[in-house]
Amino acid sequence: MKKVYIVLEDGHVFEGERFGAEGEAIGEFVFTTGMCGYVETLTDPTYYGQIVMHTFPLIGNYGIMEEDFESDKSYIKAYVVREWCDAPSNFRCQYTLDEYLKKQGIVGVCGVDTREITRVIRDNGVMNAIITEDPSKVDFNALKAYKLTDAVATVSCKEKYTVESDAHSKKVTLVDFGKTKSIIAELTKRGCDVTVVPYNTSAEEILALGADGIVLSNGPADPKDNMAAVEEIKKLIGKAPMLGICLGHQLAALALGGETVKLQYGHRGANQPVKSTESGKTYITSQNHGYEVDAKSLDCGFESFINANDGTCEGMKYADKLLVTTQFHPEACISPLNTHYVYDEFITMMGGND
Are 96 and 43 in contact by the 8 Å Cβ rule? The answer is no
- The catalytically annotated residue of 9, 70, 186, 331 is 331
CA distance 45 to 219: 6
Are 121 and 264 in contact by the 8 Å Cβ rule? The answer is no
CA distance 165 to 192: 6
DSSP string, 164-221: --SS--EEEEEEESS--HHHHHHHHHTTEEEEEEETT--HHHHHHT--SEEEE----S
- The catalytically annotated residue of 110, 192, 246, 313 is 246
231 is catalytic: no
CA distance 265 to 182: 25
28 is catalytic: no
- Could you give the maximum distance between any two Cα atoms of the chain, in Å? 66
| Torsion sign (Cα): 3, 30, 57, 74 | negative
User: How long a stretch of residues is the chain?
Assistant: 354
159 is catalytic: no
Bridge partner residues of 109 (DSSP): 18, 80
Q: Which of 8, 3, 16, 22 is nearest to 111 (CA)?
A: 16
CA distance 106 to 22: 8
Span between the terminal Cα atoms of the chain, in Å: 60
Residues forming the active site: 246, 329, 331
